[in-house]
Chain A
Amino acid sequence: MGILSEAIKRILERPATRKYPKEKPKIPEGFRGRIEWNPETCIFCMLCAINCPTNAITINKEKKEWSIDIGKCIFCGRCHDVCPTKPKSVSNSKKYELAEYEKEKFRLKFRKSERGG
């Protein structure tokens, strides 16, 4: 009887589910999404690359290149925690729709240009 009365009570309520692709969820504060790199503050100290638990980050000091493999990244945010610059050069963004058809597209490479940026 318990379930039946509950079912009757809820029959006129709105559905509890969200229509996801049309209706985006609200991203909470502190969400750990895709890692983003800010070339302007980066000092190429290698701390993020050394401390990454899955070795997803690689840095080329001479070419001033910073790259990340999102397929390897576990979004733990350790690179953000260990980054010594202010404001932090490496940080979690709020991007979460990261699926791709090809593996190659997960390897993202960024370069610091002479003018910065």
Chain B
Amino acid sequence: MTTPGVRLTLDRPVAHYLPGDQLTGQFKIEGSKAWGVRSAELSVLWYTAGKGEEDMAVHHFERLVDDPSKPLDLRVPRPFAAKLPLGPLSYDGDIVKVCWCVRARLFLPHGQTAVAETAFRLGTVPAARPPGQEPDGDSLEAETEQAANS
């Protein structure tokens, strides 16, 4: 059984935001088929990647439910907006990375789900190590000794 494609777009052409900025965008089902979506969730969240176990937290959460009095038709684009927090800022470290994204999750009949995700950067913290620069192999002790003797 197939699931619908979900289009999730941010209003800014460059997905780069500063703390306190307003994040706006919209999401919709691709195509003209109704699909009978039971509910939909829109989250603005951050998660960690890298060597450690994943940590995540949701900053903004919206849940839309299909109701007879208010049918959920996601063929019509659904706008969303969220004020971004002061942190954590996006970070690309050696073994710890902090990634921000907007995620739309659609709950379909028969327990099926469809998910779409769009990443964005929060803040201006550059990568801990520029691309191509490998971590130095010297231990802190060796470096300290060298620095102290120089």
Our verdict on whether A and B bind, yes or no, reads no
- The chain A residues found within 8 Å of chain B, CB to CB, are none
